[in-house]
Amino acid sequence: MASVVDDVADGELTVDDGLVTQSLDEILLALIALADDETHGTGLMEELSRLFDADLSPGTVYPRLHDLEAEDRLRMHELVQTKQYSIDDTAAAESMIEEAMCHHLAIGLFLHASLDAV
C-alpha cells in the first residue's frame, strides 16, 4: 500500500479521469485539507493533474467547489483576483472522505482477491 501512495504522490500512477471525477468532491476536500496555503481552483486543478494525471476542465472542477461551499463543507475567501478555499465543516469532510475511501478500498480488495482466479 505504501508504494501506491508513493506512486500517487510522485505522480507516477495515472488514474482514469472518470474515476477521479466520480470522487472529485472527496479528492478536492482532501487536497484542500492537505494544502499548506493557497488552495485556489487553478492550484487544485494543477494538483489533480500532477497527482493523478487527470485533465479536468474548469467546468468540471469549479462547479464542484461552488457546490461544496453551498453545502457548507468549504469556506471561500475572496481575494483580489482569485478565490481561496478552506474546510468549513471538518466532521462532514472527514465523513465524506472516509466513506469514499471505504468504497474504493472494498472494490480494490475485491479486485485484488480476484487476481488469483485470473
- Which set of grid coordinates corresponds to residue 84? 481561496
Q: Burial, 77: exposed, middle or buried (Cβ in 10 Å; 0-12, 13-18, 19+)? A: exposed
Q: Is 77 helix (H, G, I), strand (E, B) or coil?
A: strand
Predicted confidence (pLDDT) at residue 14 exceeds the cutoff of 80: no
List beta partners, residue 85. Answer: 76
pLDDT value of residue 26: 94
| Joined grid coordinates for residue 93 | 469532510
Residues 47 and 33: beta-carbon distance below 8 Å: no
Where in the chain are the domains? 2-112
User: Is pLDDT larger for residue 76 or for residue 59?
Assistant: 59
pTM of structure: 0.79
For residue range 47-73, list pLDDT tens digits in order: 999 888 888 999 999 999 999 999 999
What is the topology classification, in CATH, of domain 2-112? Arc Repressor Mutant, subunit A (1.10.10)
